[in-house]
Structure 1
């Protein structure tokens, strides 16, 4: 691995933090992802996020046809512990996961509790691409008025997320990654509406 686990991860962290604090801002971490020289069954950007966010205290779940080998690799790289969806801090829904896997993840992911809402799960979802196409309208904290995004995926994730996040401050945060190593963060405070084109 040519990735510098200090400087490269710090650079990716700053970009991810920007995207999390300004929902709708798409950041690209290909400079870091391109330095990974290992065979992996996930996007490079997804693995960079794993290296950034996971440690010995983290519990995670992988949803993928290659779940066993991916989970083993993540454990070897980060010492994070694999667990079930219900108790995972981070859930990875990789590109080859089935649509019903994503539905199950949204249904079972831990939304936190009123004493510790910050302990809710974060779901990292691989998708074909994220863009600023005007398909979905975002409003909420970190957004001046509104902004627009598109997430190319076959799943009904907008409805699934809305259902999961009805009881604020409970809810889950999302991070999308795509083939081009773009990342898009959607904290639970962000409101999403499908845009009606007249």
Structure 2
């Protein structure tokens, strides 16, 4: 199996994440890069790529998973980033096998920054069954021309908790969803989300 190129492939993935973060609703595909990983890390290969992209010695992270110890050790060994409790972590990973209320807990505990340093907030990376362009959620805000539509298969109350955390802009949290097929969706704090009515 072809090995992941730690420079070229991580940079290619980074560009996709930046595109999706600057154009909320744009679903990027990390399958090409994820397919080059041949290790079982206890998380999606695409999640490992995101960890390798975002983590370093200057930041902290927290993992919610049944395999928390295994994944934490792997991330630490690959990136040298330190762990922290959810309230202080710069990056929080909620993996697919996490307990049913872990996403709620992660979002509620995630730091939102301070007015003098709003960038000192958390980014929450969530593994989910699927993200798609289906018309379940209407997105509006900076980076979106008019409106955009997405569907995220995750616990239903994440939208309300996110709204509460992001109520005092520029404070708030940013979200990255990654699914089993390595599709990636970014929802920065500036994006407004409204559930579409089922007809």
What TM-score bracket applies, with the shorter chain setting the length?
Answer: over 0.9
- Scaled by the length of structure 2, the TM-score of the pair is 0.97
The match for 2:126 is: 125
TM-superposed deviation, 1:80: 0.4
Give the alignment's Cα RMSD to 1 decimal: 1.0
Provide, for residues 53-84 of structure 1, a one-character-per-residue CA deviation record: whole Å limited to 9, x for no partner. Answer: 11111100000000011101100000000110
In the alignment, structure 2 segments of 5+ residues that lack a partner are none
Task: Map Cα deviations across residues 129-188 of structure 1 (whole Å, 9 max, x no partner).
Answer: 000000000000000100100001234111111111111110000000000001000000
What is the deviation of 1:15? Answer: 0.6
CA–CA distance in structure 1, aligned partners of residues 45 and 164 of structure 2: 30
Question: 1:106-117, aligned counterparts within 5 Å?
Answer: 106-117=107-118
Query: Where does structure 1 differ by over 3 angstroms across 4 or more consecutive aligned residues?
Result: none
Structure 1 unaligned segments of length 5 or more: list them: none
User: How far apart, in 2, do the equivalents of 1:13 and 1:95 lie?
Assistant: 22
Distance 1:155 1:40 in 2: 27
Tell me which moved more, 171-180 or 148-157: 148-157
Aligned-partner Cα distance in 1 for 2:167–2:38: 41
3-state SS of 2:119 partner? helix
Please give the alpha-carbon distance, in whole angstroms, between the structure 2 residues aligned to 1:42 and 1:69: 10
When the two structures are aligned, how many residues end up with a matched partner?
A: 198
